[in-house]
Amino acid sequence: MRKSHGGILRLQLGLAAAAALLAALAGPACAGEPLKIGFGMALTGGLAGTGKAALLATKMWAEDVNARGGVLGREVQLVYYDDQSNPSTVPGIYAKLLDVDKVDLVASGYATNMIAPAMPLVIERGLVFIGLFGLAINDQFRYERYFAIVPGGDNPRLTYSEGFFDVAMTMEPKPKTAAIVGADAEYAQIATAGARENAQKRGLKIVYDRKYPPASVDFAPIARAIQAADPDVVYIASYPPDTVGMVRAANEVALRPKMLGGGMIGLQYAAIKQQLGPLLNGITSFDVYVPEPTMRFAGIEAFLRKYQSRARAEGTDQLGFYTPPYAYARLQVLAQAIEATQSLDQKRLAQHLHEATFETLVGAVKFGPSGEQAVPRILFVQYQGIAGNDIEQFNQPGKQVIVSPPAFASGKFLYPYADLKR
């Protein structure tokens, strides 16, 4: 039996009303196809400790933004693969993300050694690329659509170690000699090149300057060679496994310069802090966030409480000070650019990223001409008064004292390193 036009209209209106009711009950809706964001991340290998933490923070951002209706009304979907902390896996991962998964946007994995191998493909496709803790990546590529989420300033090769040597020169009597050592890998060689220049600018004589194979496991011979050179200041650029090895070796051979630290990645990780415990005392190395009273950015304490609760359940870095706030912030920046331009056009996004200032968990972010953050804010933190291996002590102020830059300093630099180890 054929329905009347009036009956069909009433049926259509009823269906529309039911759909609207269901949508209202469901909460914020994300319309259209998902917005796919693809990236590689170190979930195994030497960088996994921080890669897993960065992934959890990235998932938290996606959950938060989807609860508010997504980006441009589209639900965010994360597509990611384990890069195994191995640079050789990175080009294949990004080719798959773009050619097979058909992601709308890409983001970097963690660290210089994982970002650099993705750059040629990213440049070839003309993509916006926000790097998570890459050191001076654009010194090599000079790509106008690359942006760095690490507060290294517009000349990061130098600013990355500048504060370390500025602090060194506050000692009395002033230091005269320095040792510089790093892995034979991209990050460490960029860091040690800047350290070498900063040391020489301050009149320090470099009495030891060596690199070691990235796969090294025995660091005692390196520590003994440094000890034989008897430097006042020791600058080390290392990734997590060798950071632990260098700290232990320095303790075993009783290496006693006036100051030791520099660019030691890994000291920022909860598991390594807990593992090394009192062996950290006196070390002065770079960082990006510690829970000192000078670092209270809007929203970061609430984020860390939520992160730490999740981290215990998911087996990631228990503290979350290092990459998690910045992993979250990098996607805050990207989403703000998309919403401001109402577009996924890579050229328009890059132009806006160069022009705007973005409000994030880690404070205001403004990019300079090279894509690095315009205002440097690399912290140098000295470990003081670490007792035992209780992880909770690192949630308290006064254990990871900021000694540089002056605007964020939270305590006094103590020296010599030898006395602090007793």
Burial of 319 (0-12, 13-18, 19+ CB in 10 A): buried
Of 332, 333, 328, 341, nearest in space to 72 by CA: 341
User: What are the pLDDT digits (tens) for 185-236?
Assistant: 999 999 999 999 999 999 999 999 999 999 999 999 999 999 999 999 999 9
The yes-or-no answer to whether 35-154+298-366 and 156-293+378-420 have a common fold is yes
Of 108, 109, 134, 136, nearest in space to 48 by CA: 109
- Tokens of residue 41, six digits: 């991340």
Distances (CA, A) of 321 to 87, 291, 313: 25, 8, 17
Per-residue pLDDT, averaged over 251-273, amounts to 96
Q: Distance between CA 70 and CA 350 in Å, rounded?
A: 21
User: What are the pLDDT digits (tens) for 361-411?
Assistant: 999 999 999 999 988 899 999 999 999 999 999 999 999 999 999 999 999
User: What are the pLDDT digits (tens) for 164-187?
Assistant: 999 999 999 999 999 999 999 999
Judge whether 285 and 272 are in contact, CB under 8 Å. no
Strands 379-383, 284-287: pairing kind: antiparallel
Domain spanning 156-293+378-420 has what CATH number? 3.40.50.2300
* Confidence check: pLDDT of 20 > 60: no
What pLDDT does residue 31 have?
57
What pLDDT does residue 369 have?
92
In the CATH scheme, what is the homologous superfamily, with its name and number, of domain 35-154+298-366? Response regulator (3.40.50.2300)
Residues 6 or more apart whose Cβ sits within 8 Å of residue 67: 27, 28
Domain ranges for the chain: 35-154+298-366, 156-293+378-420
Q: What is the pTM of this model?
A: 0.85
The DSSP secondary-structure symbol of 195 reads H
Torsion angle of C-alpha atoms 354, 344, 127, 33, degrees rounded to 10 = 150
What pLDDT does residue 419 have?
87
